[in-house]
Structure 1
Amino acid sequence: MRTKTVLTAALAATLLTALPATLLHARPATAATATVATATVGAGAPAPTLGACAPGQLCLWPKSDFKGRAQRYELADTGVDSCVALPAGTTAQALANRTGRPVTAYQSAECAETGEFETYPGRGTWTPQTPYQVRAFKIWER
């Protein structure tokens, strides 16, 4: 398999025109409005469809390409600047950050920085495949 950037000019145009304006905060469609992180796809493989995630939510899927039943977290129910472990025995392989705040996803269930971790912007980031199994996350104040 060859690593390719999922966000190409054609894909960006397709994704942005397919999303309702309400998901794009009623702003004109630009490449900065919705971010799709890079993923590993085979040559000629179709790009994944964005997972459903409402504004203000952090959504985590157990399988790549936004497959499986998503776990959804909102700021009102989630501690800011606190480590939130996923339920025991569960992990995530895809995520969408629509919280409006940066979110760091951790390989460690304790948000330890000795394992892998990555921070995703909060203005609409869809990541079809994380580089590791996510076991915990932190939503940052800003």
Structure 2
Amino acid sequence: MIRHLRITVDGKVYDVVVEEVTDQGATGPHTPLPTAPPAAAVAAPKAAAPAAASAATTAPVAPGAGEAQRAPLAGVVLSVAVKAGDAVAADQEICVLEAMKMKTSIFAFKAGTVTAVLVKAGDAVDSDQPLVTIA
């Protein structure tokens, strides 16, 4: 069934043609979409984490060196759980962001040493903005 709709967005009018591809309707049965395997299923990096952590704690790290842990979404920093010089384990919570009244914990993507904390509680951050660097 083809339907013609007129939609207004920010004062602009759009004529849209929509085709229903099933005869089940909105209340009929549906097939769930496939989902990605859970992140917890990846165990190989965790096995290498202790070696990386011990290597990072034995050698001094220059401030700001390392890879950036980036914000996965835009929001406000509620808390920061690490400081420069802290040793972190892979998947350790490093900060908490709030977006649309939802709190999101941000976890270290690898084990190592925090070389710089680039945000503080109360800061507004954009998606993909660096939060900390880990070497």
TM-score range relative to shorter protein: under 0.3
Query: Over alpha carbons, which structure has the higher Rg?
Result: 2
* Higher share in strand: 2
